[in-house]
A and B are shown apart, each in its own frame.
Chain A
Amino acid sequence: MNDFATLYAALDETTKTTVKVDAMVSYFKRVSPQDAAWAVYFLIGRKPRQVIPTAKLRAWAASLSGVSDWLFEESYHAVGDLAETIALLLPEPSMSSDVPLSVWVEERLLPLREASEEVQRGAMEAAWAEMNSGQRFVWNKLITGAFRVGVSQQLVTRALAKVGGLDAATVAHRLMGEWEPTPHFFERLTSLEGGDAAVSRLYPFYLAHPIEADPSTLGPRSDWQVEWKWDGIRSQLIRRQGQTFLWSRGEELVTERYPEIDEVARYLPDGTVIDAEILPWLGGQVQPFAQLQRRIGRKTVSKAILNEVPVVLMAYDLLEHEGKDFREMPIEVRRARLEEVLKGTGWDGRIMASPILIETSWDALAEVRTESRERGVEGMMLKRLGSPYRVGRVRGDWWKWKISPLSVDAVLIAAQRGSGKRASLYTDYTFGVWSGDGLVTIAKAYSGLTDEEIRKVDHFIRTNTLDKFGPVRTVKPELVFEIAFEGIQRSTRHKSGVAVRFPRIARQRTDKVASEADTLESLQALLLRDSGSD
């Protein structure tokens, strides 16, 4: 645990990716495969569910520290994180120990879930007594199911590749799918012999970058394959050894949630993997993403919802063909085979190849791109002919040419402190637009400003607070921001009657005063535009 806490601190403190990778490499080499497996598990963002409610931890820690309620509250306020506050307030440890991470997790953490409150408390107190503040912090985060660390899966992958002397794509591939953090798993993960490709294993997704410049800067139109950019759930459909696996990009196995796709996937030949998008589809038309949200997260699907929101699989690419990794083939070859595979009947229109646009010039494409919103797409995808299917976010071969999002000028009306790095700054904002004489909340957003801007807004919030409710401060309605969002829909849950999707701060409108912000009526007008014939 000591090693892992030290690794955590190293990853947490530095912003240099090479330092992070080096820290992980040295950790993986130093510890047992069993510890390393758990470390990989946690570093890539998997975590056990919360074992003990935070309120209990807080009470036990306060009593152990001899700190009264108000003083604990003041401390928490200054720190901004409960696990850390507890770690700092507890008395110095009475002993030090070096129990390995895997033992902490397997023998001490996991069994606690079933234990009685008394046993839990005793175990926590015993654990705290042998940990320094760095270890306590990590332990508390694991116990509360809130462990997070500042490394991307890509960096973890890079470190593991370095440990095993492998290329990153191989490791990324091995990390996908279902696995248990066992020593055996870790050894296979980093071994040179390519362990048996599990039947459900998916390929890492290739992700496109947004193109900011005019696409004509990419060279001749004839070098590019152009498709619509569909707005659904990016996914991978796998058919191997007579079994079907549908994975979402979040690496969640969602086969049972979309039975209409599962039913027809059996017609795919064994050894086929398709990169695709799950889309809500009715009457030959894509439906707003909001419709799909009614299906996401539902594990059991009723007949009614199947009728209301049927889905299709819009196929983009063929990653495995006749059991062979097909990703190194040029895109035009993969596409041709994809069409062949999907040619037969029996699909019932539930799996289709994403249409390729035929406009022969960038200008002509720009012209049809203006119809994106009516067509229910987000713009276009540009894919370089001749290119392989790459891993991750490698720039250059795939670009997303998105239509500009919708936006509204709204007034800052409330704020809350951020978390983690920004726990002491007000970074989570609530915005409103005018409805009659009052402002009605339309969005919460917490991204899009620079550190400098955040600091200024933070200062404004502190000096213009009207009221405090718990962690929330309402502020004088004065600052105007342009809020961009991806979509808008009617909502009965919101007082405003509308809900915006993916709101973010585009910029501060220092040129506007609050009275010049948008009205709810103007937002409702966007609603019509966005959903077409509602």
Chain B
Amino acid sequence: MADPLLQVTDLGLYCAAGDFFVDPWRRVPRAVVTHAHSDHACWGCDRYLTSTAGAGVLQLRMGADATIDTLAKGKSLNLNGVSVSFHPAGHILGSSQVRVEHRGEVWVVSGDYKVEPDPTCDPFEPVPCHTFISESTFGLPIYRWDAETVVFGQINDWWRANRDQGKASMLYGYSLGKAQRLIAGIDPTIGPIYTHGAVEPMNRVYREAGVNLPPTTYASSLPKSTDFAGAMVVAPPSANGSPWARKFGPSSDGFASGWMRIRGPRRRRSVDRGFVLSDHADWPGLISTVKATGATRVLLTHGYTAVLARWLREQGLDASTLATKYEGERDDASEGLTTDETAP
């Protein structure tokens, strides 16, 4: 039997026929990258190939010297006889699924994805394939998301109540992707929006890519005497409890993540409010996506891989876990933190 079109090696997911890697975790000559989160984009590769929309954030993350080739969504490129194309994954700006076709066999690597709408990126498009390599971060039926509008209603209510009590609202979410989605979704008429040093540069790239974000101000650029009562401050989770976070005076804190769906992680976070907002697919989203691809073989990465694999097998699919490094021990002990937070 011939080698599979994509296989896991020490360096990452490798396509031997095309001699390239998809989201490698070590430096390689040619990396095809789904998106710029650090478990997918590794530093120091000779050449990167990513979607046109994702090039800005990837450049910011990989450094100005990195060589990044781009490909518009839906367009294909021939790499040593293998056809490669990018299709929106709906996860963060420019995040893409990678479609790989060789001699009529089609594989799709989902990267991270979500199926609900997000104003900061192109909506997810299911891509028909034979083999689908899907993430399964939230691969348990306990994970079901409310509509985005419901969650933003909760966040806005919380912000308004804090403002009326003269408090700042400290809202924590990953600096790339989640933070921008939060900023795009909240109601800027409630008050001013300030950002942490890890968030503001990302906002700039988002705006340059044409994403419509309300005005934000980098908090540390302001004089010490600034009154933050009533303001919204968006920061990465690592800033919670830091001296930086204390300078905003009386405040209430909230954390936006899919993990907030469960009481244990919510309480361990020790914030006043947990908002259930994720950039990953929930259980119904995973199931419907797998179905929509028409794939007969499904390989799972991230999170509850074994659970989803078993469930899909019960539905008659050929499903199994793919041992990747797209995660650490994804137990709740890691509190749902990915490593995509840069230092302030």
Contact = CB atoms under 8 A, between A and B. Distances in A.
B267 A75 contact: no
A13 B266 contact: yes
B272 A455 contact: no
A19 interface: yes
Nearest to A65: B141
B333 interface: yes
B292 interface: no
Given A13-B267, A71-B311, A84-B263, A78 B142 contact: yes
Contacts of B270: 15
Contacts of A78: 140, 142, 262, 304, 332
B325 interface: no
Contacts of A425: 332-333
A108 B332 CA distance: 36
A388 B83 CA distance: 86
B267 A89 contact: no
Interface in A68-126: 68, 70-71, 74-75, 78-81, 84-85, 88-89, 92
Nearest to A15: B270
A233 B194 CA distance: 56
Among A13, A79, A422, A425, residue most surrounded by chain B Cβ atoms (within 10 Å) = A13
A237 B258 CA distance: 53
Given A19-B272, A71-B311, A74-B307, A459 B142 contact: no
Contacts of A84: 262-263
A59 interface: no
A84 B143 CA distance: 12
A480 to B, nearest CB: 23
A495 interface: no
A100 B267 CA distance: 27
B273 interface: yes
A88 B142 contact: yes
Contacts of A68: 314
Given A13-B271, A15-B270, A424-B333, A74 B264 contact: no
A15 B144 CA distance: 26
A67 B264 contact: no
A324 interface: no
A75 B274 contact: no
Contacts of B10: none
A16 B141 contact: no
Interface string B239-272: 0000000000000100000000111111110111
Contacts of B304: 74, 78
B262 A71 contact: no
Contacts of A19: 252, 272
Interface string B299-331: 000001001001100100000000000000101
B272 A75 contact: no
Given A71-B311, A75-B141, A78-B142, A88 B267 contact: no
Contact of B264 (A14, A15, A79, A462): A79
Contacts of A88: 142, 144, 261-262
Contacts of B333: 424-425, 455, 458-459
Contacts of A421: 264, 267-268
Given A89-B141, A424-B333, A459-B333, A71 B307 contact: yes
A423 B142 contact: no
Given A71-B307, A421-B268, A424-B333, A81 B263 contact: yes
A495 B69 CA distance: 69
A328 interface: no
Interface in A402-435: 420-425
Given A19-B272, A78-B142, A78-B332, A12 B264 contact: no
A74 B140 contact: yes
B175 to A, nearest CB: 23
Nearest to A422: B264
Contacts of A75: 140-142
B142 A79 contact: yes
Candidate in B262, B271, B272 with the most chain A CB atoms within 10 angstroms: B262
Contacts of B274: 13
Interface in A253-307: none
B263 A424 contact: no
Contacts of B307: 71, 74
A67 B333 CA distance: 26
Contacts of A13: 266-267, 271-274
B314 to A, nearest CB: 8
User: Could you say which of A75, A78, A459 has the most chain B C-beta atoms within 10 Å of its C-beta?
Assistant: A78
Nearest to B332: A424
B305 to A, nearest CB: 12
A15 B272 CA distance: 7
B264 A423 contact: yes
Contacts of B311: 71
A14 B186 CA distance: 22
B86 to A, nearest CB: 33
A12 B263 contact: yes
Contacts of B262: 78-79, 84, 88
Nearest to B314: A68
Contact of A85 (B142, B267, B310): B142
A502 to B, nearest CB: 26
A83 to B, nearest CB: 10
Contacts of A12: 263, 267
Nearest to B273: A13
B283 to A, nearest CB: 10
A80 B272 CA distance: 22
Interface string A443-456: 00000000000010
A466 to B, nearest CB: 19
A65 B142 CA distance: 10
Contacts of B261: 88
B63 to A, nearest CB: 33
A21 B188 CA distance: 30
B310 A424 contact: no
Contacts of A81: 263-264
Contacts of A14: 271-273
B87 to A, nearest CB: 30
Nearest to A454: B333
A318 B85 CA distance: 85
A84 B142 CA distance: 9
Given A13-B271, A459-B333, A67 B263 contact: no
A71 B141 contact: yes
Nearest to B269: A13
B140 to A, nearest CB: 5
Nearest to B143: A88
Contacts of B252: 19
A449 to B, nearest CB: 14
B141 A70 contact: no
Interface string B3-43: 00000000000000000000000000000000000000000
A422 B273 CA distance: 18
A155 B274 CA distance: 23
Given A19-B272, A425-B332, A458-B333, 13 more contacts: A13-B266, A70-B310, A75-B140, A79-B263, A80-B264, A88-B142, A88-B144, A88-B261, A89-B141, A89-B142, A137-B263, A424-B265, A455-B333
Q: Which 10 A-B pairs have the closest CB atoms?
A: A424-B332, A88-B142, A14-B272, A421-B267, A423-B264, A75-B142, A74-B307, A424-B264, A15-B270, A75-B140
12 contacts: A12-B267, A13-B266, A16-B272, A19-B272, A68-B314, A70-B310, A71-B307, A78-B142, A79-B142, A80-B264, A88-B144, A137-B263
Interface of B: 140-142, 144, 252, 261-268, 270-274, 304, 307, 310-311, 314, 329, 331-333
